[in-house]
């Protein structure tokens, strides 16, 4: 029974849900991942002029990349190419393009619903935007436990 549930969750429904969400967000946000690429690269190489904020643009980019790209992703690419051949790279690029819009939406919600604690540190993430944005406290707690 556990194998059937596992196959269902990690099978076609999840692929359709994730790629469909990415396609919806890409279209709804007007291909933001392509439209704002020059601006993003400009922020990457621009000299930071000591603006207001906790971290520089470069530090924020590095943190976001570190949270997104892990050793599992690096090994996953090698495994996909080994198992599926070079054509797997095309599909990874296509899905990555759709995933960029999803990641943008996730980061936007995390920043919008973040909180500052009594020591002045910022905290945010899925549990905050689920609780504060959707108002579903029990789901936010469940996500918190699941992320640990």
Quickly list H helices, the chain: 2-9, 12-28, 32-35, 37-45, 57-68, 71-84, 87-112, 126-129, 137-147
Q: pLDDT, tens digit, for every residue of 80-120?
A: 899 999 999 999 999 999 999 998 999 899 889 999 989 98
pLDDT for the residue numbered 32: 94
Is the distance from CB of 127 to CB of 143 less than 8 angstroms?
A: yes
pTM reported for the whole predicted model: 0.76
How many C-beta atoms lie closer than 10 Å to residue 99's C-beta? 20
pLDDT for the residue numbered 50: 63
Q: pLDDT, tens digit, for every residue of 1-52?
A: 888 888 888 888 898 999 999 999 999 999 999 999 998 888 777 766 666 7
Average pLDDT for 58-63: 79
Please report where in the chains the tokens 């996953």 appear, as a residue. 76
Is the distance from CB of 140 to CB of 131 less than 8 angstroms?
A: yes
pLDDT for the residue numbered 48: 64
């Amino acid at each position: 029974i556990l194998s059937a549930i596992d196959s269902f969750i990690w099978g076609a429904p999840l692929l359709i849900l994730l790629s469909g969400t990415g396609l919806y967000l890409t279209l709804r946000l007007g291909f933001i991942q392509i439209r704002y690429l020059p601006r993003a690269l400009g922020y990457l190489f621009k000299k930071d002029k000591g603006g207001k904020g906790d971290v520089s643009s470069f530090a924020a980019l590095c943190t976001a990349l570190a949270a997104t790209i892990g050793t599992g992703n690096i090994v996953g690419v090698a495994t996909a190419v080994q198992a599926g051949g070079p054509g797997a790279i095309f599909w990874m690029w296509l899905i990555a393009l759709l995933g960029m819009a999803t990641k943008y939406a996730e980061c936007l919600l995390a920043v919008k619903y973040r909180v500052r604690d009594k020591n002045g540190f910022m905290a945010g993430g899925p549990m905050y935007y689920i609780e504060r944005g959707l108002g579903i406290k029990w789901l936010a707690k469940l996500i918190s436990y699941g992320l640990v």
